[in-house]
C-alpha cells in the first residue's frame, strides 16, 4: 500500500490533506522534516474512516497536537500525520463543567474558563499545547496537573471504538497516561471546575505568565522542559551544576536562562538537539549519577 493509495482514499472521503508537508512550522521547536501525508479531518466520521483505513493497510500514523512537546526527525515522518486542529469546539456542559475538543488550544480553554468565572485551569495557562496533547501528557505546572480538574475523556481506541472514560481509568501520572505510547486518539475532555471571582482567576493567570516570562527562554523556539523531573532533583539544576549552561551543538543550545530548556538558536536540526540531549544525559550521569529521561518525544525516521 503506497502513499498514493492513501491520497486517493483521502480525496474520495473529502479529507483535506497535504503531501510532503513541512512539519517544522507546526512545532514550537521549528525543527524537522516533512510528513509523507498530513491529514486534517474535519469531522468524526472522516477521522474514524481514516484510522480504519490506516489500520487495515498497516500504514503508520502520528497524532499531532500543537507540536509543543515533540522533536521531528530531520528525515521526516513516514505514513500519516493527523492534525486534529478542526476538532476545536468548547462549550459549557453545566454551570461547573466545560467540554472541550482535543484539537483546541489549552490557552483558549483557560481563557474560556476565565470568562465563565470558573477556576482550576489557571496553573496550565501558558502551556502552549492542545487539550488532547495536555491530557496525553498529563501536563502540569506550579503544583497542579490537568488530571486534577479532568472529569472524563472521550477517545477512539485501537479497534476504532469511541470510548467515554472516567478520569480514574486514565492512569494519569507524572507526564504519562493510558495514552502514552499507544495509538488511541483523544477526541474531547470534560473538566469540573470551581466558581471563583473573575479578577482572582485573572490575577493568578497573569502572575504565572509573568513567572514564565521571567524564568523561561520564551523568546526562542523550544519544546519546553527537555527532560522529565528526576525523583528528588530538578533536571535544569543538575544540568547547570554540570557546567552545561550555554553548551551548544550546531544551532541547539542549553538555554543560558534556564538550563532545563534546549532552545533552537537558529537553524538547529533534530540531529543537533539529539546530540545535545545525549551530552546532557552523559555528563549528568557521570557527574551526578542521575539518569535523565527526555520529556520531549522524538518522532519520525531514525
Looking at 122, 175, 222, 270, which residue is catalytic?
Answer: 175
Question: Which among 276, 275, 243 is positioned nearest to 262, based on CA atoms?
Answer: 276
Assess whether 91 carries a catalytic annotation. Answer: no
Residues in contact with ligand FAD by CB under 6 A are 28, 62-70, 84, 102, 127-130, 132-134, 136-137, 139-141, 179, 185-186, 216, 218, 222-224, 297
Q: Tell me whether residue 203 is one of the annotated catalytic residues.
A: no
Catalytic option among 225, 253, 255, 270 = 225
Using a 10 angstrom Cβ sphere, with 0-12 exposed, 13-18 middle and 19 or more buried, the burial of residue 110 is buried
Rounded to 10°, the helix 106-115/198-215 angle is 150
* Cβ(74)–Cβ(33) below 8 Å: yes
* Phi, psi (degrees; rounded to nearest 5) at 75: -90, 5
Q: Is 301 a catalytic residue?
A: no
CB of 155 to ligand FAD, least distance (A): 7
User: How far apart are alpha carbons 217 and 280 in whole angstroms?
Assistant: 18
Nearest residue to 140 (alpha-carbon basis) of 299, 295, 297: 295
Q: Which residues pair with 278 in a beta bridge?
A: none
Report the residue number, 264 or 269, with the smaller CB distance to ligand FAD.
264
CB 130 within 8 A of CB 136: no
Q: Which is nearer to ligand FAD, 223 or 268 (CB)?
A: 223
In the complex, least distance from residue 63 CB atom to ligand FAD, rounded to whole angstroms: 4
Nearer to ligand FAD, 102 or 283 (CB): 102
* Residue 218 or 290 with smaller CB distance to ligand FAD: 218
Give the nearest distance from C-beta 66 to ligand FAD in angstroms: 4
- Among 40, 122, 145, 295, the active-site one is 295
H helices present in 163-234, as ranges? 198-215
Residue 75: CB minimum distance to ligand FAD, A = 18
Q: Which residue numbers are catalytic?
A: 175, 225, 295
Amino acid at each position: 500500500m503506497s502513499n498514493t493509495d492513501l491520497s486517493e482514499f483521502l480525496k474520495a472521503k473529502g479529507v483535506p490533506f497535504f503531501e510532503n508537508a513541512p512539519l517544522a512550522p507546526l512545532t514550537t521547536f521549528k525543527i524537522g522534516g516533512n510528513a509523507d501525508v498530513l491529514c486534517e479531518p474535519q469531522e468524526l466520521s472522516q477521522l474514524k474512516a481514516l484510522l480504519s483505513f490506516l489500520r487495515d493497510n498497516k500504514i503508520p500514523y502520528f497524532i499531532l497536537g500543537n507540536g509543543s512537546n515533540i522533536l521531528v526527525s530531520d528525515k521526516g515522518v513516514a505514513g500519516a500525520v493527523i492534525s486534529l486542529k478542526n476538532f476545536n469546539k468548547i462549550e459549557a456542559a453545566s454551570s461547573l463543567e466545560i467540554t472541550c475538543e482535543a484539537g483546541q488550544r489549552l490557552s483558549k480553554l483557560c481563557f474560556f474558563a476565565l470568562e465563565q468565572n470558573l477556576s482550576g485551569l489557571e496553573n496550565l495557562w501558558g502551556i502552549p499545547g492542545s487539550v488532547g496533547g495536555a491530557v496525553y501528557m498529563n501536563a502540569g505546572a506550579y503544583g497542579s496537573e490537568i488530571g486534577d480538574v479532568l472529569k472524563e475523556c472521550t477517545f477512539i481506541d485501537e479497534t476504532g471504538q469511541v470510548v467515554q472514560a472516567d478520569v480514574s481509568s486514565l492512569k494519569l501520572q507524572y507526564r504519562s497516561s493510558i495514552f502514552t505510547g499507544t495509538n488511541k486518539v483523544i477526541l474531547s475532555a470534560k473538566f469540573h471546575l470551581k466558581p471563583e471571582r473573575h479578577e482572582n482567576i485573572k490575577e493568578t493567570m497573569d502572575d504565572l505568565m509573568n513567572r514564565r516570562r521571567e524564568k523561561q527562554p520564551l523568546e526562542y523556539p523550544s519544546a519546553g522542559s527537555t527532560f522529565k523531573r528526576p525523583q528528588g532533583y530538578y533536571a535544569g539544576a543538575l544540568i547547570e551544576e554540570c557546567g552545561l549552561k550555554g553548551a551548544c551543538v550546531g544551532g541547539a543550545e542549553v538555554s543560558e536562562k534556564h538550563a532545563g530548556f534546549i532552545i533552537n538558536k537558529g537553524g538547529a536540526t533534530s540531529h543537533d538537539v539529539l546530540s545535545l540531549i545525549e551530552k546532557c544525559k552523559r555528563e549528568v550521569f557521570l557527574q551526578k549519577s542521575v539518569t535523565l529521561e527526555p520529556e520531549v518525544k522524538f518522532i519520525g525516521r531514525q
